[in-house]
Structure 1
Amino acid sequence: MAAETAGNPEQGSTGTAMVATVAAARERAQGERRVAITPETCRKFVAAGAKVVIERGAGNGAAVTDEAYEQAGATLLDDAGAVYAAADVLLCVQAPEAGSIACLREGAALVGLLAPQADPARAQAIQARGIVAFPLERLPRTTRAQAMDVLSSQAGMAGYKAVLIAAQLAPRFFPMLTTAAGTIRPSKVLVVGAGVAGLQAIATAKRLGAQVEGFDVRPETREQIESLGGRFLDLGVSAAGEGGYARQLTDEERAEQQRRLAEHLKGIDVVVCTAAVPGRPAPKIVTSAMVAGMRPGSVIVDLAAETGGNCELTRPGETVEAGGVAVSGPLNLASSGAVHASEMYARNLYNFALLFLADGRLVDGRIGFDWDDELLAKTVWPERNGDGTAAG
């Protein structure tokens, strides 16, 4: 695991316990404004006995000043390479490039949205340096893990922002208005997918005064949709399966579902698509023929754009027009709400790091990982054997 920590020679009475260094560098991915450590979590790490190292300017995109980090007890460094070299635990939002990973000390822990298998060079760098990587997209979705669930916390911000984008693109009001010029009917909004992002989108559209419907292939989401003031769109086809998961529809069922959805979309003003499965291409739900049947002036905002989109016409990172219908495929929406998104994300990472840094210290220069803890064992990449060695 981690070797002696440079710059933190504090030792316990036995001479073997050393302060662990938790670090975060400025995010280099284009458009990324979030930060993995906030002054709040910095103070918590310091209170737990750890040392915190931050690259100068790391919090600028999230409106966090260097002074705020210093007041929280962090050590600021000018060079990202020095931050990587000092880290026993590096916390990040998006995965560092392979060259940056090579700057980490052998056996350091790396925690964030890493997607190691999406980039062969990144995966090779992690394995070559013996990095103990925790891609939090692999975190089990259990009750105990809720406080560490970065996918849920960031999806909430994405769902909120998606509705604001839709409201901006739509050439109409969302709420009903009674004016001297007559009554303006409310916009009809359909949210496809009732996960965290979808439910937040439903709640936000409802607050803006729209008539809101929610659609999901899982019938058990009806109660959640209705609890937020939305109407559950029942297309007459149930995909209820075992264990709370949706089963695969038959060809006939899917055709009937598509026919009914196409007919329904003719009366919808705004569609927000949120159906996505981590690690897989997004399911195609809204076809080009459906878009052609929608009224001019309608809007589709596709949150699944990063994995191909739920709409056949979605172009990631662009807003296109097809027959008078605007189709927007925004990317990394959580970053557009960087202040609150960072606060939630940093708390998620802090809670996860406590699984192996409960007292903020190293023993004989090593982090103690409990591989009997399913949250660690099922999140780590590459997978580990019970003795901590890489499986396979």
Structure 2
Amino acid sequence: MAKQVQDAYIVAATRTPIGKSGRGYFRNTRPDDLLVAAVQSALRQVPTLDPKAIEDAIVGCSFPEGEQGMNIARAAMLLAGLPQSVGGVTVNRFCASGLTALQMAADRIRIGEADVMIAGGAESMSLVPMGGNKPSFNPAVFEKDENVGIAYGMGLTAEKVAAQWKVSREAQDAFALQSHQRALAAQAAGEFTDEMTPIDVVDRFPNLATGEVGSKTRTVTLDEGPRPDTSLEGLARLRPVFAAKGSVTAGNSSQTSDGAGALILASEKAVRQFDLKPLARFVSYAIRGVPPEIMGIGPIEAIPLALKHAGLKLDDLGWIELNEAFAAQALAVIGSVGLDPAKVNPMGGAIALGHPLGATGAIRSATVVHALQRHNLKYGMVTMCVGMGQGAAGILERV
């Protein structure tokens, strides 16, 4: 078994704003272009780094087809202007794809096979629908009851978690409102500035008077999802969308979204060689499988294992990014693990900010890196549930 021989440090971390899928900021923006922008922004954070020293790029994407197919990692690195010597591989662990990419990049450094790596994630749910353009389950999935959960829609799994963990509709809606309130407060305070890469969006429209196509460029600097008009009354009026007598609604579920994130990792040798400033050390990672039909509880199993690998206790964590796939599963995880609600998603989560699937792990890792620096905290964690029944958790340490 390979043993860790050196530490992996995050020396740059950034993300794009998150746009709503369908009719949002990035409805016509290619995900590889979003990834290119994030990578180029990350590179600008380390001007003394020789790009030729970058060994490889690992990028997470939940549905790597269409506009985000053809190995988006390799294509984006070339489009970003990196040397042809820099490799690129796309990985898929659904919602944990971006976090898995970070773990894989860190591990290459930690076992001494690389000194500089890029990790990231990209997803356009506007251009590539959830499930992809041609979903096709193996017929064997439906032949045995224990396998049917593989094909469950995420919303149905949230309903099952809400029922089994006794999470009320009122608690879910209150959690959703808090997500929006925290996100709006963080935006107003400028707390996303350090982690954000502004994106220029070109809108094109017909000029009926001249018969030509006009264009207008606008710069996107904030996540599109947080809504100041969100209220408990408004959330309570929403109907369940996954079960007739259920409690999971569009208002207490994560938003489908578009976005990308990128991080640059370096060994201590590379930090010294290129005069880089480490922001965080990659400490540990854990992945655990759970029953697919209650996939939302994945972090309940992954978090203790990540803490064990790190030699830490729950109280050691100062900042926790728990992806809010659904309020029901987030509350089940918080209650079961014993997380401090004040430390969980202090700037809001996916219910308000959005969840561009394969990009979320990289995006929320950038959030943790900068939050630890800004608030002078020692340890932070990114954790999420994963479709088909998995949970992932990664721990970072401020340097």
TM-score range, shorter chain: under 0.3
What's the TM-score, normalizing by structure 2? 0.27
Higher RCO (Cα < 8 Å, 6 or more apart): 2
Flag the structure with larger Rg.
1
Larger strand share, 1 or 2: 2
